[in-house]
Structure 1
Amino acid sequence: MEQLEFFTVPSPCIGVCTVDNKGYCQGCMRKREERFNWLTFTPTQQRHIIKLCKQRYYRKRLALRGHIPVQQIEEDSLPPQGDLF
């Protein structure tokens, strides 16, 4: 059973709408389906997508710093992080 929501989950879009070589938006780190279908997702699904975006951003920053070889970065390779909200 889903929790009753009183407020909408704001879109993570920051207006930088370009796609990287993996297909993620460089501004918000969402996949194409996540961007195009944002308004059809439930608030629970939207919060989960935001969690995934934070994980993608974290992995991308680690790869850019050279801590993780780019070839080893996978979608679900790191344990899920706790929600900050």
Structure 2
Amino acid sequence: MSTIERPVPSPCVNICALDEDDICTGCQRTVEEITRWSRMDNAERRKVLGLCHERAKSSGLIWMLGKTPDL
């Protein structure tokens, strides 16, 4: 008997504003990623979440534990 995997939830935090690169300042997804989210499978959603995490790190929104920001 196989179990059905639950959908990976959206990273939306209801702070919907695009920056100058058309990336949402709330969830860090691109416009294309936002509009395609409902049609993505879980593997693609996980890949997008990884990209969002990297974007948040590179923009300074999140810091890695043990790493201090460059001042």
Q: Percent identity over the alignment?
A: 31
Using the TM superposition, give the Cα deviation of residue 7 of structure 1 relative to its aligned residue in structure 2, in angstroms.
Answer: 1.1
| CA distance, structure 2, for counterparts of residue 24 and residue 54 of structure 1 | 13
Please tell me whether the aligned partners of residues 20 and 26 of structure 1 are also in contact (alpha carbons under 8 angstroms): yes
TM-score normalised per structure 2: 0.78
Q: 1:43 to 1:21 in 2, by over 3 A?
A: same
Q: Supply the AA of the counterpart residue of 1:35.
A: I
| CA distance, structure 2, for counterparts of residue 6 and residue 44 of structure 1 | 11
| CA distance, structure 2, for counterparts of residue 5 and residue 36 of structure 1 | 24
TM-score normalised per structure 1: 0.66
Q: How many pairs are equivalent? A: 61
Match of 2:13 in 1: 14
| CA distance, structure 1, for counterparts of residue 51 and residue 19 of structure 2 | 16
SS of the counterpart of 1:37? helix
Match of 1:39 in 2: 38
Q: Supply the AA of the counterpart residue of 1:45.
A: E
Contiguous gaps of at least 5 residues in structure 2: 62-68
| CA distance, structure 2, for counterparts of residue 52 and residue 16 of structure 1 | 18
Match of 2:50 in 1: 51
